[in-house]
Structure formats: structure tokens, C-alpha cells
Chain A
Amino acid sequence: MTAKTLYDKIWDAHLVSTDEDGTCLLYIDRHLVHEVTSPQAFEGLRNANRAVRAPEKTIAVPDHNVPTTLDRLKGVENEESRIQLDALEKNALDFGVHYYPVDDIRQGIVHIVGPEQGWTLPGMTVVCGDSHTATHGAFGALAHGIGTSEVEHVLATQTLIQAKSKNMKVEITGKLKPGVTAKDITMHVIGQTGTAGGTGHVIEYCGEAIRALSMEGRMTVCNMAIEGGARAGLIAPDQKTFDYVMGRPHAPKGAAWEAALSYWKTLFSDEDAVFDKVLTIKAEDIEPSVTWGTSPEDVLPISATVPFASAFEGGKVEAAQRALDYMGLTPGMKLTDIKIDTVFIGSCTNGRIEDLRAVAEVVKGKKIKDGMRAMVVPGSGLVRAQAEEEGIAGILQDAGFEWRLAGCSMCLAMNPDQLQPGERCAATSNRNFEGRQGRGGRTHLVSPAMAAAAALTGHLTDIRDL
């Protein structure tokens, strides 16, 4: 038998059929749906008189558009957002899929809700009309984003027409230094490979530093596989994975658990499996990282200075100049001299309990800088509740953070949480594109601890200096 990678194994286990021309039909185990990319897909089903093939494998959660202020149950002011939210509710009810409405404590960002509720399990195929579906790869599930016509295709057939990607291995050897987190790993990797480095590949992250991460940390790493251009990110499941999954509402129980477990333990890349591309990074070479520009690949260690556009090559020279202008930065200045006026803690990258704990640890007993706008948006209602129980919410509020309800919020600024033109934000989210957090807004991507540090000092700060 030929040696297989983890990706090969999951792929083969989901192959329904292969056509002569090589097109494959892949079975989909879990389909996550949110309000923005699904309405036309459901409408398509209605127009063609089709049903959802496997409603019990489909989960709908509103997240992109929902307000995160405490008064949100009074209704959504923006009409277009409201229409999309109402449509999701109607579609979920009409087609009989699992649904977590805005007033349900389990509501949250779809990529946080899936794992939390035990929908995401090792070895599964998971899709969603959203590129950060890669998050679920942390469980050893093949998970990726799809377009609206594919959403409809999955709803109707529970399959996707796919061509197989290549295999890429990213190994992080050794141990992380203090102050360095999962977010820094994933940003560092993108800094190394560029945003197209993983194009056409599924990345498997492995190595001692990855093994040492919690499930939350692994989700952070896989979440940004897409920023590196990869179709998906994967981490082989291990005891930590099984411990996380056990007892979740939709995880298997009893005999089914035992059967599942013995299957899950076969989910790893065989020793002599061949990868098309390999990248090895020493954990000790990774510093707390920050983006200076408008592409997730514009990553530097916090100890560095803002680069000169002339330091780049080819088309990147112009792009870098444009990024410097947009970000309002002077080449040569220290990254730690960049003033920050807004801090956003949240998103499917860093909106989990471990992230909030990291922030609380930094700001405990302290106050955020005068005039700083700092916002914590938990990734789900359950994360919020747990943080309240652990006393984290109190610590954050005492320090001056706003304590919000769950949703995507300022990660993409589709709800009212937006930056004003020129405002500069240290954000724990995953994209720093022009206008991503609001027209003219400037985003620096950082880890939760680094965002917390910036909230205290009012400028980008090396967490190790605090």
C-alpha cells in the first residue's frame, strides 16, 4: 500500500465518484451556513423545487451582520442586514437545518460554534460559504470555503465537485519562546511564504511547537492557512483533540465514541508519505509578530522597523509604497513607535476563551490608555458566559474594555462596528486589507497579548517589554 498523507486519507474516505476527466465528487459531512453567502443558494433550491439533502448535517448561524451591542435583541437597524438575517432564519426553519438564532447562548461566529458544539470532528469534510472555514482543520478535518453556487450544490447534493490539491507540510520544530503564541506562528509562516505560498495546496502543520499548542491555538494556526493561499490547513488529531471533542453536544457517545476514537487514531500522515512542498521553521526563530501593511504577508517581528518600499522586488515595490501611504507610516520608524487608537479583540482567529484569558492576564489590575477605544467581542455566547464565570469579563471591563455580544464585528465591519477613516487599530483578526475594518481604517494584525499591550500603552508594544 502506498504511503498517504493525512489529506490523502481524508480525501479518499470521501470520494463518491471520479469521472474519466478526473473530476471528483466529494462527500461533505458538515455544511455550515451564515446569512451573507447563503440566501441565493436557498432561493435556488426553492426555484428548482429541491430539498436540502441532509438537513441534519447542515448548521446555520447568523454572525457576519449581527450587532454586538447589548441592545441588539431590540432589532437590527440596517435594513439590508436585517433582511439577510431574517432570510437566514426563514431558510433554516423552512428547510429544517440546525439553527442557532441571535438570542441563543450558543450563537457566535460559525467557525467557533462548529467545534464548540461538537459538529466538527476529526476526519470529516467541512465546508462553509466563508474562506476561514480552514479553522476546522485543527481537528484533522478537511475544511475549506466555497462560493454561493457551491453552497447550493452542497445543500442539494451533500457533495462538491472538486479537483484534488497538492500536499504541503509546514513543520515548526522545537519550542516557542515566552511571549510567542499560535497567532505569531501563523503570521510568521505567511510572512515566509507570502499570500500565494500555499496556492493549490492543503497545508499540514506539524512539529513539536504545533503539538504543544492547545486546540484553541491550533484553530488560530489553521484559521489563517487561507491568508497563505492554501485551500485548507490541517493538524493531525491527538489526545488533546480527543479530550476537546469528548462530551460536546454533538460528539459521539458510548460505543460510537470508542469506534470513532479508533478510527481517528489512524488519521496521520504515514511516515514515508510524500509532500509536494515542505517548509521547516525553528520555533525559536519566531518573534511576537505584527503586520505593517495592507496584506497579511506584510509581517515583521515587533522589534523591527517599518520597511522601505525599495527593499522589495518587482511588483511588490509599488504595492509596498501604496501600503505605506495607506497606512500613513514612515519607513525606518520603529514598529513600537506606531500609535494605536483602537483595539479589537475577537474574530474566528482569536475570539476563543484562551485568547480572552491571554488579554486578561496582560491587563489585570491596569487601565487602558486614555482615549483608547478597546473592544472585546467573544467568539460565541458560550465563550462570553465562560469568561464571565472565570472573572475575565470583570477584569477586562475594569481595565476599560467594552464587553460585547458574540459576532464577527469589527473583523469585517459589516455591522456597525467600524473604524473611521485614518483610525489605527491593533486587531486580533486575520485580514488587514484596505478598508477591511471600515473605509480608510488602518489595521495591524497581532496576537491577543500584543493587542492587550497596545491597549495599555497606546502604541504597538513588545509584550516581552511589559
Chain B
Amino acid sequence: MEKFTKVTGVAAPMPLINIDTDMIIPKLFLKTIKRSGLGKNLFDEMRYDDAGEEIPDFVLNKPAYRNAEIIVAGDNFGCGSSREHAPWALLDFGIRVVISTSFADIFYSNCFKNGILPIILAQEDVDKLMDDAGRGANAILSVDLENQKITGPDGGEVSFEVDAFKKHCLLNGLDDIGLTMQKSDAIAAFEARNAAAMPWV
């Protein structure tokens, strides 16, 4: 998993509430052998018309937001099915941070497993950042995980909470596999013991 220390980039405003995982990545795209490559179908039904043409009004299709790395979203982002394809699609598009007043549980923890930082803030802070995001490419947000601070375009700061262990994992790029790999000495010792005791395994 890619480390997450600081992300400085364009933030896209998506004030809609209850953006579910079906909207993030429709079922149609689950029959894949890949985790990558889903970015082009991120928000597929909102992003393209029936003929497959981009809908110019959709935020991520606007020139200012095509390279957005942050989404500022309405309440309850990521509800619906538990598909891990949702964070996979966001990440593949290039999104590293989602800011909202609330997230669905499974989506929230899936984000951390995939190197995405979901940030929960009070309504007034989200409103303020939503305004900033509305200013397009002129409004760069900077998200500093180490110091748990978001810096706005005018220098204003918002601090946020994050679970200490999850923060540690993100800062060091540790997913479950990374964490277990830190125990590789213990695994190797087990293997050595076992090879001696049960050579047939």
C-alpha cells in the first residue's frame, strides 16, 4: 500500500448526500480480474450519458477538477454494498482523501486498507471546505496526516481526528499484509521448526 503523509491538490465538491457504492462503481464493472483500471468507470452513471459521452456538468468532467485528489462530499458517503471495488475505483482515479460529515462503516475501513484517508468533520467545517472546493483549481487544499491538519487556500486550518493505529498504518503504508510481514521473523521461525518436526508438510 502506498504511504500517505501529505496530499496537496485540487478538491472536488460533491454536496450530494448518500453517495452509495453503486454510484461510485456500478455492479456492471465487478466482473473484472483487476483492482486497477476501475478509475475510468468511477461514478460511471453520473459521469457518462447513455452513448458513453462525458456529461460536461459532472464535477469530475470539468477541466478544473479532472485531476482532483480530494473529494468533499455530503453526508453518509460510501453507503450500500460492501464492495472493495469502490475504494479501488477512487484510488485508481487518483483520489486520496474524502472529506464528509459521515461515512458508511465498511467503506470507511476499506479506505484505510487501500491507502485512502477518509476524514470526518463537523458540518460547518465541511461547509467551509465545500466552498473552497467550489473555487476550482484556484483552491488547493493541503491534507497533512502527521499533524492531522487541513490547510485551506487562504491559510485557514482545520484539524481532524483519526484513530492512532489507522494513522500509523497509513503513514507507513502498512496494510494487513504489511503488518503481518513485520512478523516475518516469527513466521520464518515457525517454518524452520515445522520443517524439522514435520518434513512432509
A residues within 8 Å of B by Cβ?
16-17, 25, 27, 29, 39-40, 43-44, 47-48, 50, 53-54, 80, 83-84, 87, 121, 123-124, 148-149, 152-153, 156-159, 161, 251-252, 256-257, 259-260, 263
B32, B186, B199, B200, most chain A CB atoms within 10 A: B200
A16 x B183 contact (CB < 8 A): yes
**Min C-beta distance of B88 to chain A, whole Å:** 8
Contacts of A40 in B (CB 8 A): 33-35
Indicate whether B46 reaches chain A with its CB closer than 8 angstroms.
no
Among A48, A84, A124, residue most surrounded by chain B Cβ atoms (within 10 Å): A48
Chain A residue numbers with a CB within 8 Å of B184 are 157
A263 contacts B177, C-beta separation under 8 Å: no
CB pairs A–B below 8 angstroms (19 shown): A16-B190, A17-B186, A25-B180, A27-B190, A40-B35, A43-B33, A43-B35, A48-B177, A54-B191, A121-B200, A121-B201, A153-B176, A157-B177, A161-B176, A256-B200, A259-B199, A260-B198, A260-B200, A263-B198
B9-36 interface (Cβ within 8 A of A): 31-36
Q: With a CB–CB cut-off of 8 A, which chain A residues contact B180?
A: 25, 153, 156-157, 159, 161
Return B28 CB to nearest CB of chain A, in Å.
11
| Contact in complex: B201, A39 (CB < 8 Å) | no
Which residue, of B34, B84, B177, B199, has the highest number of chain A Cβ atoms within 10 A? B177
Chain B residues with Cβ under 8 A from A48's Cβ? 1, 177
* Per-position 1/0 for B171-189, Cβ under 8 A of A: 0000011001101101100
What residues of chain A lie closer than 8 Å to B36, measured between beta carbons? 43, 47
Measured CB to CB, the residues of B under 8 A from A are 1, 31-36, 84, 113, 176-177, 180-181, 183-184, 186-187, 190-191, 194, 198-201
Query: Bound complex: CA of A48 vs CA of B177, how far in Å?
Result: 10
Complex contact A16–B177 (CB within 8 A)? no
Chain B, interface SS category = loop
The 10 closest A-B pairs by CB, nearest first: A39-B33, A252-B200, A157-B180, A256-B200, A260-B200, A87-B33, A16-B190, A40-B35, A156-B177, A17-B186
User: Do A149 and B176 form a contact, CB below 8 Å, given A40-B34, A157-B181, A260-B200?
Assistant: yes
Distance of A414 from chain B, by nearest CB (Å): 11
Q: Distance in Å from the Cβ of B74 to the closest Cβ of chain A?
A: 28
Task: Report chain B residues within 8 Å CB of A29.
Answer: 201
> In whole angstroms, what is the CA distance A48 to B174 when docked?
11
Establish whether residues B187 and A27, one from each chain, have CB atoms under 8 Å apart when the complex forms. Answer: yes
- Chain A, Cβ-Cβ closest to B199: A256
List B contacts of A148 (CB < 8 A): 84
Residues of chain B within 8 A of A83, CB atoms compared: 33
Q: A29-B201, A259-B198 are in contact. List 15 more A-B contacts (CB 8 A).
A: A16-B190, A25-B186, A27-B190, A39-B33, A39-B34, A43-B33, A43-B34, A43-B35, A50-B177, A87-B33, A158-B187, A161-B176, A252-B200, A259-B199, A260-B200
Q: Considering the chains assembled together, what is the distance between the CA atoms of A53 and B177 in angstroms?
A: 12
The residue in chain B whose Cβ has the minimal distance to the Cβ of A46 is B36
Contacts of B181 in A (CB 8 A): 156-157
Contact A44 B198 (CB under 8 A): no
Q: In the bound complex, what is the Cα–Cα distance between A22 and B183 (angstroms)?
A: 16
| A255 to chain B: closest residue by CB | B199
A441 to chain B, nearest CB (A): 20
Q: Which of B1, B34, B183 contacts A25 (CB 8 A)?
A: B183
State the CA gap A252–B199 with chains docked (Å).
9
Contacts of B34 in A (CB 8 A): 39-40, 43
Closest to B179 in A: A161
Nearest-neighbor residue (CB-CB) of A17 within chain B:
B186
B113's contact among A80, A87, A149, A156, by CB below 8 Å, is which?
Answer: A149
Distance (whole angstroms) from the CB of A207 to the closest CB of chain B: 29
With contacts A44-B35, A80-B31 taken as known, whether A157 is within 8 angstroms of B84 at the C-beta atoms is: no
Q: Within 8 Å CB of A50, what residues of B?
A: 177
Give, as a whole number of angstroms, the nearest-CB distance from A52 to chain B. Answer: 12
Docked CA distance A149–B164 (Å): 23
How far does the alpha carbon of A454 sit from the alpha carbon of B31 in the complex, in Å?
36
A16 and B186 form a contact (CB under 8 A):
yes
Smallest Cβ distance from B90 to chain A, in angstroms? Answer: 16
Measured between alpha carbons, how far is A259 from B197 in the docked complex, in Å? 9
A256 to B201, CA, bound (A): 10
Distance to closest chain A CB from B175 (angstroms): 8
Cα-based distance from A25 to B182 in the complex (angstroms): 12
- The answer to whether A259 and B200 have CB atoms under 8 Å apart is yes
B194 / chain A contacts, CB cutoff of 8 Å: 27
How near does chain B come to A66, taking the closest CB pair, in angstroms?
A: 16
**Which chain B residues lie closer than 8 Å to A158 at the CB level?**
187, 191
Distance (Å) between the CB of A11 and the closest chain B CB? 14
CB distance from B201 to the nearest CB of A (A): 5
Q: Max chain A CB contacts within 10 Å: which of B181, B184, B194, B201?
A: B201
CA distance A104 to B170 in the complex (A): 44
A256 contacts across to B, CB distance below 8 A: 199-200
Q: How far is the CB of B177 from chain A (nearest CB, A)?
A: 5
Docked pose: A39 CA to B113 CA in angstroms: 18
Measured in the bound complex, the distance between the Cα atoms of B113 and A374 in whole Å is 47
Complex CA gap A90/B155 in Å reads: 51
Task: Check if B187 sits within 8 Å of A16, measured CB to CB.
Answer: yes
Residue on B nearest A263 in the bound complex, by CB: B198
Select the residue from B33, B36, B190 with max chain A CB neighbours within 10 A.
B33
- Taking CB atoms, residues of chain B closer than 8 Å to A263 are 198
Q: Is the CB of A84 within 8 A of B35?
A: no
CB <8 Å contact, A159 and B33? no
Cα separation A251 to B173 with both chains bound (whole Å): 40
Contact A124 B201 (CB under 8 A): yes
A159 touching B200 by the CB < 8 A rule?
no
